[in-house]
Structure 1
Amino acid sequence: MNKTLVAGALALTLAGCASQQPAPPFTLTLAHINDTHSHFDPSDARLTLDHKAVFTRLGGHPRLLSHVNELRRQAEEAEQPLLFVHGGDAWQGTGYFTLNQGAMNADVLSRMQLDAMALGNHEFDIDNQRLAAFIQGVNFPVLAANLDASHDPDLKGLENLKPYVLYAFDGHEKERVDSVKDAGKRPVVAVMGLVLEDMPDMAAHTGNLRFEREVDSAQRTVRALREQGVKQIVAVTHLGLERDQRLAREVNGIDVIVGGHSHSLLGQFSNLGWADGAPYARQFTNPDGRGITCVVQAGQFAQAMGQVSVTFTPDGRVSRCEGGNTLLSDNVFYRDIRRGEQHRLNEQQTQRLKAEIASQPNIAMVAEDPALRAHIDKQYLPALNRAYGEVIGHLPQALKHVRLPVDGSGSQIAPLVAASQLYWANTPEVLAVTGRRADFALVAAGSVRNSLEPGALKEGHVGLELLPFANPISLVSLTGRQVAGLLLETINASLPADAHTGKFPYAAGLRYTFNETSKGRGYLDRIEFLSQGHWQRIEPDTRYQVVLNSYHASGNDGWSTFFDSQQAFTDRLDLAFTNGKLTAFPVARLSKVNGGGVQVHYINQPLNCQDQAVRCNTDARAFIDYVRERRPMLTALPESGVTLKRL
């Protein structure tokens, strides 16, 4: 037989065998961040390294960019697919946002070359016109499959606001495609977005938007993607860890959920002196008993980046999902939070710490991207420095803010915010306007945005960072029975694992004890208010004058008792400055608008916080006046008024 023919036949046989070999498994890497909240600069942090407390700085967007660029380099070298996504809440958090109103977020995030971002609740903090400018201004898709914007004049028709996007991969090379057909034989990954179905209860400005149920919308979107032939589906969500896990259990076909909203730093971090989080890349079985969904989230404030590697079977099911969160550290360390040059560790101590960090799986020293650092310093930092204003007091030591009390220790700042509002409402200047003395103050934990570090406290630290929402202070009456109902509804809603704990109530002039009787439920053992220096029991049918910010006075964020009590009529007063003069704006009643948002009906002139002559930030003004006049050396109050007894 002709040897050439034999060789040719053998080659054909081998080629035929090779063509029958199964395709290699598809593996995708997801780099992810969430709840960055305008933390473009690094955050101060305390770590335990080499059995000692050390202080450094973590994260910031230039450091995030350096880290993700290294992951991109590794993916290119290994010819592996990679996507970089954001789980929402890029807005709010620092003075950068207050000064730039989303424009800086669009600028900086676009320089980071994200592949997709979910809408967070804080993206709705200004108005839909400003949100539309942000969505149109970024160079990556903004996703929300369960958002109907067809009736909203600002967001309807935006090309960059999508339910999902498709990426086709050839090794590490990726391309946005309109359909599976356009991808040819290349593997396709769909990235879909999900936003909070109860957004109108959490966000002040949702306009005419409609928010559909998360589970129903997710399943409908997955079904549509599967019908197109998409095998790999990633959901980028801003729902919180508890709802992400529910989504994984109740929806068939989502392979990975990259979440946000609950600020959950998943993984074990006790090796660094931090609390351990829930497991990273925990897998849940879908209702069909076959599919697996992997759930991840990466903490808060641009301090960490998550990296998850997912391998799929040929029919698109998850066969492996693993990874972790990495805290991104500076390479300069101090032994004192004040970070003076005298506190800086010497070279020998620093080298020992660097070796310790190199041995840990969940922290890495990462240099900032020099170009992005220089851009922020030139374009935005000078205005930020100018805006911080005068020194109003000093902190001898750090004051910590935590939303939910843990092991009997709660926020040190929220009680001070409540105390400032109670103090301010009862000053002669305010009493002359309201004619009413406040009995006690209530503050939701989510109203307070950060902890405070030792050193000088400036006006800008309060108005731009601590209380950045520029909320008017409200004075409204509730019965003792309604006060108890409010405490029960907000505490019970905050207790489940990884619940949205921004609802949790702190107080001044009021104290309570709550006993948990079963997981996530309990009862109030004691409610008392301070009257003429003595604690007295709250009486069910007595009316009390309560001071709080107007956002929660309208029943937003699950403080529903306030909305329920003001639907027919109310004695509420909202307080703001008009042309520099403190003015009371009487409220007639509250109602719900289409989509579920709350509308405040004023008796006379409505309060328009967008008016140039109006300053609504009386919540920040109250704290500034309180520190300057009563607490120039700012320390924690002797007691928080909150006793939370957990099982």
Structure 2
Amino acid sequence: MNKTLLAGLMALALAGCASKQPEQPFTLTLAHINDTHSHFDPTDARVTLGNQAVFTRLGGHPRLLGYVNALRQQAARDDQPLLFVHGGDAWQGTGYFKLNRGAMNADVLSRMQLDAMALGNHELDLDNGRLSAFIQSVNFPVLAANLDASQDPDLNGLDNLKPYVLYAFDGNKKKRVESVEDAGKRPVVAVMGLVLEDMANIAPNVGMLRFEREVDSAQRTVRALREQGVKYIVAVTHLGLERDQRLAQKVNGIDVIVGGHSHSLLGDFSNLGWGDGGPYARQFNNPDGIGTTCVVQAGQFAQTMGQVNVTFTLDGRVSRCEGGNTLLSDNVFYRDIRRGDNHRLNEAQQQRVAAAIEAEPNIKMVAEDPALRAHIDKVYLPALTKAYGDVVGHVPLLLKHVRLPVEGSGSRVAPLVAASQLYWVNTPEVQAVTGRRADFALVAAGSVRNSLEPGALKEGNVGLELLPFANPVSLVSLTGRQVTGLLLETINASLPSAAHTGRFPYGAGLRYTFNETSRGRGYLNRIEYLDNGQWQRIEPDTRYQVALTGYHASGNDGWNTLFDSQQAFTDRLDLAFVNGKLTGFPVARLSKNVQGAIEVHYINQPLNCKTAGVACNTDARAFIDYVRERRPVLTALPESGITLNRL
């Protein structure tokens, strides 16, 4: 028998065997990002390789695109199903957002060809008209199964705002379908979205939106999908890791949760000097005792991409879930964060670093996508460069911002922000408007958006990056008992593993010691304020003038004591510029509307930050004035005033 005939017969035999093969388990790859916060350019970073600290740049959207395109090419070669999803909070974070107000996010994210994105809380920072324009501009669905937009005139009826979306797969090829019937025999993956049920207490502009309970809505949506015949369900959420884990343990039928909001870089990065963020792709048992749910998240600021591979049993349950987060590095390295030409490693040193990176599983050198890089540089970068304005000071050494103090070391930036507000409200110019003197200042860790890198500090670094939310500085009187209650509620809420730590309180003119007595709980055994150069005990019934942002003065983001203390009346004063003149806006009381959002009721003229001629960014103005007038060489304060004794 000739070889050609034999080969043909063997091929037929193999084909016959293949036709009788049992159905194969389905495997899905998810590439995921979250909390990118308009970091279209890479960010400076320090990594440890071996025993050597080197400085490079991580991430940025062109590098994300370069990496996900490589994953797509590999998936195509392997004929492997792949989805690319975003866990929300694409908005805010850099000057790019302040200048383009969502339009650049829509442009760049659409070029990245996402398959779905969860609605984050910062997508509600402007108004629903701008959010509507964003949702209608992007070429991927924005998902929120527990959002009721039916009464909101801007978001009601948007085709691209959905509770979930269905993808049918034929190997690597995917197609959006409206139903399981439309998919024929192809496997269907549902991607559903979930947003914060307490969004009205976190986002400043929710309009007429209503937010339903996360667990109830998730279970209802899963039930509806199962009834349609959907076997595989992915939830893209913006809830934070702690709530994602709770969701996994309280809802039956979600296979994978791809999260955001808590900025959790899951995985052990201690090999790079970044610490251990806890297990990636941890699986939790569902309440029915049968199913399991795999939970992942991918850090922040477009520095990292997660990749999780999920294999299902024939009846649709998760049998394997594994993968990891990868830091995406530039290929140029320095010995100093200032990144001058004289700090650049020589060729031999660069090669050693590259070899060290090649040996590590959780960092890769990735080239930027050249087309996206060129587009950003041409269309958006010139205006950003111009907007940064004058130099107000210099930062000689890296000032690192961390939200929650770890092993006795906390943020070096948040105490400076608090100090700037205390200084500013006590200047003669501001006191002439308020008629008051502040005793101390409080700042939530989440109000501070980044570390301060060595080099010149420009106005734009402050107003567009460090403090981008344009919050008015407020003065409000609180009793010592209320101050203590506020500290206790915000510290205790920040301590549990995977908690949202943006509410953690830093201060100026105030110091405290907190002792943890059980995991995530503890007590204050010292709380003092600085009075004429002397530390004095905070007295329970004495009233103190406290400086803080208007956002937190209203009790948003879990600063509930402040809302509770101002429901009947308050002496609070919000400070903003009107046509260049500093003006005080006295507050009468606070209330909540039907959506649960906090409303501020003013005594006379209301403060509307959207009105022409009104500038509410006195938080950024305070920091700029503080640096220019008191700290032109900006270094860390000698101490933060916080002693946090963990178990």
Fold equivalence (TM over 0.5): yes
How much does 1:201 deviate? 1.1
CA contact (8 A) 1:395 1:457 kept: yes
CA contact (8 A) 1:168 1:187 kept: yes
Structure 1 partner of 2:162: 162
Structure 2 Cα separation of the partners of residues 417 and 91 of structure 1:
22
Give the secondary-structure state (helix, strand or coil) at the position aligned to 1:452.
coil
- After superposition, where does 1:132-147 map in structure 2 within 5 Å? 132-147=132-147
CA contact (8 A) 1:328 1:363 kept: yes
- Supply the AA of the counterpart residue of 2:517: T
Can you list the C-alpha shifts for 1:300-326, whole angstroms capped at 9, x where unaligned?
A: 000010001111111110111111111
Structure 2 partner of 1:209: 209
- After superposition, where does 1:67-146 map in structure 2 within 5 Å? 67-146=67-146
5+ long unaligned stretches in structure 2: 1-10
Structure 1 partner of 2:6: none
Change (3 A) 1:15 1:503: same
Structure 1 partner of 2:533: 533
Give the secondary-structure state (helix, strand or coil) at the position aligned to 2:586.
strand
CA contact (8 A) 1:191 1:235 kept: yes
Structure 2 Cα separation of the partners of residues 197 and 474 of structure 1:
27
Structure 2 partner of 1:42: 42
CA contact (8 A) 1:94 1:464 kept: yes
How much does 1:396 deviate? 0.9
- After superposition, where does 1:222-621 map in structure 2 within 5 Å? 222-621=222-621
Give the secondary-structure state (helix, strand or coil) at the position aligned to 1:76.
helix
Structure 1 Cα separation of the partners of residues 89 and 535 of structure 2:
41
CA contact (8 A) 1:170 1:187 kept: yes
Change (3 A) 1:15 1:591: same
Structure 2 Cα separation of the partners of residues 232 and 211 of structure 1:
25
5+ long unaligned stretches in structure 1: 1-10
- Supply the AA of the counterpart residue of 1:340: G
Give the secondary-structure state (helix, strand or coil) at the position aligned to 2:306.
strand
CA contact (8 A) 1:194 1:239 kept: yes
Structure 1 Cα separation of the partners of residues 118 and 335 of structure 2:
39
Can you list the C-alpha shifts for 1:522-556, whole angstroms capped at 9, x where unaligned?
A: 00101111111101011111111101000000000
* RMSD, matched Cα: 1.3
Structure 2 partner of 1:182: 182
- Supply the AA of the counterpart residue of 1:226: R
Structure 2 Cα separation of the partners of residues 408 and 78 of structure 1:
48
How much does 1:50 deviate? 3.3
- Supply the AA of the counterpart residue of 2:321: C
- Supply the AA of the counterpart residue of 1:202: I
How much does 1:151 deviate? 1.1
Structure 2 Cα separation of the partners of residues 382 and 503 of structure 1:
35
Give the secondary-structure state (helix, strand or coil) at the position aligned to 2:443.
strand
Structure 2 Cα separation of the partners of residues 570 and 249 of structure 1:
42
Can you list the C-alpha shifts for 1:18-39, whole angstroms capped at 9, x where unaligned?
A: 6664211111000000000000
Give the secondary-structure state (helix, strand or coil) at the position aligned to 1:225.
helix
- Supply the AA of the counterpart residue of 1:141: P
Structure 1 Cα separation of the partners of residues 607 and 89 of structure 2:
27
Structure 2 partner of 1:8: none
How much does 1:611 deviate? 1.0
Structure 2 Cα separation of the partners of residues 268 and 616 of structure 1:
41
Structure 2 Cα separation of the partners of residues 498 and 100 of structure 1:
32
CA contact (8 A) 1:479 1:544 kept: yes
Give the secondary-structure state (helix, strand or coil) at the position aligned to 1:117.
strand
Structure 2 Cα separation of the partners of residues 18 and 612 of structure 1:
71
How much does 1:94 deviate? 0.4
- Supply the AA of the counterpart residue of 1:269: F
Structure 2 Cα separation of the partners of residues 51 and 563 of structure 1:
49
Structure 2 Cα separation of the partners of residues 373 and 594 of structure 1:
45
How much does 1:285 deviate? 1.0
Query: Which has the higher mean CA deviation after the structures are superposed, 627-636 or 351-360?
Result: 351-360
Structure 1 Cα separation of the partners of residues 49 and 486 of structure 2:
43
The answer on 1:171 being equivalent to 2:182 is no
Give the secondary-structure state (helix, strand or coil) at the position aligned to 1:248.
helix
CA contact (8 A) 1:196 1:238 kept: yes
How much does 1:17 deviate? 8.1
Can you list the C-alpha shifts for 1:272-307, whole angstroms capped at 9, x where unaligned?
A: 111111101111111111111111111000001000
Structure 1 Cα separation of the partners of residues 169 and 26 of structure 2:
10
How much does 1:13 deviate? 12
- Supply the AA of the counterpart residue of 1:644: L
Structure 1 partner of 2:54: 54
How much does 1:208 deviate? 1.2
CA contact (8 A) 1:50 1:353 kept: no
Give the secondary-structure state (helix, strand or coil) at the position aligned to 2:471.
coil
Structure 2 Cα separation of the partners of residues 261 and 487 of structure 1:
22
Give the secondary-structure state (helix, strand or coil) at the position aligned to 2:524.
strand
CA contact (8 A) 1:208 1:594 kept: no
Give the secondary-structure state (helix, strand or coil) at the position aligned to 2:70.
helix
- TM-score of the aligned structures, taking structure 1 as reference length: 0.97
Change (3 A) 1:173 1:571: same
Can you list the C-alpha shifts for 1:34-72, whole angstroms capped at 9, x where unaligned?
A: 000000000100011132010000000000000000111
Give the secondary-structure state (helix, strand or coil) at the position aligned to 1:122.
helix
Structure 2 Cα separation of the partners of residues 45 and 579 of structure 1:
40
Structure 1 consecutive aligned stretches of length 4 or more whose deviation exceeds 2 Å: 11-22
Give the secondary-structure state (helix, strand or coil) at the position aligned to 1:349.
helix
Structure 2 Cα separation of the partners of residues 416 and 253 of structure 1:
47
- Supply the AA of the counterpart residue of 1:183: A
How much does 1:329 deviate? 0.4
Give the secondary-structure state (helix, strand or coil) at the position aligned to 1:441.
strand
- Supply the AA of the counterpart residue of 1:60: G
Structure 1 Cα separation of the partners of residues 251 and 183 of structure 2:
26
How much does 1:152 deviate? 1.0
- Supply the AA of the counterpart residue of 2:325: N
Query: Which has the higher mean CA deviation after the structures are superposed, 145-154 or 620-629?
Result: 145-154
Structure 2 partner of 1:198: 198
Structure 1 Cα separation of the partners of residues 31 and 599 of structure 2:
40
- Supply the AA of the counterpart residue of 2:210: R
Structure 2 Cα separation of the partners of residues 461 and 13 of structure 1:
69
Give the secondary-structure state (helix, strand or coil) at the position aligned to 1:517.
strand
How much does 1:458 deviate? 0.5
Same amino acid, percent of matched pairs? 83
Give the secondary-structure state (helix, strand or coil) at the position aligned to 2:514.
strand
Give the secondary-structure state (helix, strand or coil) at the position aligned to 2:383.
helix
- Supply the AA of the counterpart residue of 2:503: K
Structure 2 Cα separation of the partners of residues 269 and 489 of structure 1:
31
Structure 2 Cα separation of the partners of residues 469 and 355 of structure 1:
42
Structure 2 Cα separation of the partners of residues 511 and 554 of structure 1:
23
Change (3 A) 1:320 1:604: same
Give the secondary-structure state (helix, strand or coil) at the position aligned to 2:246.
helix
- TM-score of the aligned structures, taking structure 2 as reference length: 0.97
Structure 1 Cα separation of the partners of residues 20 and 163 of structure 2:
37
Query: Which has the higher mean CA deviation after the structures are superposed, 493-502 or 17-26?
Result: 17-26
The number of aligned residues is 637
How much does 1:170 deviate? 0.5
Structure 1 Cα separation of the partners of residues 174 and 70 of structure 2:
17
Can you list the C-alpha shifts for 1:138-195, whole angstroms capped at 9, x where unaligned?
A: 0000000011111111111111000000000001110000000000000000000001
